[in-house]
Amino acid sequence: MRLLPILPFILDYPFLRPAKFLAENIQRGMVFNAALERAEEILESLLKRGHYEFKPEDKPFYCSACDKVCRDACDRDAIAEDFLWDRCNLCGECFLRCDYSISPESYREMEIRAKVSVYSYIMMRSAISRAGEGVRRRFATSLARSYRHAMESDQSEILPEILASNFSIKIIKNESLWVHVSDYLKAASRIKSPEWKLVSRNLRRGYVELDALGFYRVVEERMRDAFFEPFTIEIEGLESLMNIVTEYELSRKAGRIEGVKDFDLFPPCMRKIVADLKDSANVPHTARFAITTFMLNVGYSVEEVLDLFRNAPDFDEEKARYQIEHIAGQRGAGKEYDVPSCSTMKTYHNCVAECGVRHPMELYRRRLYEGRGRKAEGK
């Protein structure tokens, strides 16, 4: 029964190291679709509400009733009559060799549910990795806090040992939990509460005494760092998650967009370019051309477009004015330039969401007409 002892823990905490064995071949199918649906629900809640309620289940640890024939798989001598968690790095090699017997139906159900959990976690990490730093920090903080709340309600007696092994936190567990002072200080340095000052704690032989809640707070800091790190796995078919990320990122910046009328009607790609320019980001030439043609086509003047570019780090008013007037057909041969199509926007990596249209102007006009219809209905 491959990975059986750790599957219930991966189901609740898909960031655990042995989860990599379930993510070796992520393929489309029922599990993929179920994971995507779960990822959409979690990601939207994390970004919009800053929290998602995970509900950990009762978790048997099958190794406690096993003679541990897998001990030869461990090169750290962490398996004796019981697990020696201070030696374990949760590599998962022993769990791969599990021969504990349960019904195939129960095992298969558990494996599928664990895969859904792992896939959804990877999907979210993959989608959020392309977002700005502020959005990624929001995600990491919210997800870490949500998992901490889940841990606080978890009834598993060995969960602290598993988490400590996973995040390389040195602990001693007897009547209390004792965390090595170096691991404690990494977390405490970020927590402003006076009770987290080292002088407020019981320190003995290099270890700090904590209750379970305090330990999970230390783990939260480790999770937050882990969830914020760049994620290199790219998965196709995550357009719905990318839309959630993009919409949140743009709504977050919308409050700072001044002097842009009908901003909510703009397609996501154009809203992103405007927001980046307002944030003084170094926007590529292809994106600047796109937003210039778009704004001129929807009725903005040369002066209004010029004002948008004033926050650009390399802004040169004379050069920018000439280029805008040229695109508007007021210089040169008098040619007015069209807005790039969606395919062109994708070619230059300026597309940020799957909108179901072929041209940005198509989406803008649709939203404009829908808005007028709602106004008419309200009269």
Nearest residue to 119 via CA among 42, 23, 186: 23
Say how far apart CA 310 and CA 315 lie, in whole Å: 6
Please tell me whether 269 is known to bind a ligand: yes
Q: Which residue is it, tokens 């979690």?
A: 42
Pairing of strands 207-210, 203-204: antiparallel
Q: Say how many C-beta atoms besides its own lie within 10 A of residue 144's C-beta.
A: 20
Say how far apart CA 89 and CA 76 lie, in whole Å: 9
Say how far apart CA 357 and CA 218 lie, in whole Å: 47
Please tell me whether 74 is known to bind a ligand: no
Tokens of 180: 């090595």
Please tell me whether 66 is known to bind a ligand: no
Say how far apart CA 152 and CA 185 lie, in whole Å: 21
Angle, helices 159-166/212-228, rounded to nearest 10 degrees: 30
Task: Name 209's bridge partners.
Answer: 178
Say how far apart CA 161 and CA 82 lie, in whole Å: 12
E-strand stretches of the chain: 171-173, 177-180, 203-204, 207-210
* DSSP per-residue string spanning 203-218: EETTEEEE-HHHHHHH
Asked whether 160 and 218 are in contact (CB, 8 A), the reply is no
Nearest residue to 223 via CA among 186, 274, 177: 186
Please tell me whether 351 is known to bind a ligand: yes
Say how far apart CA 61 and CA 56 lie, in whole Å: 14
Instruction: Decide: helix, strand or coil at residue 284.
Output: coil
Binding residues: 269, 342, 351, 355
Binding residues for [4Fe-4S] cluster: 269, 342, 351, 355
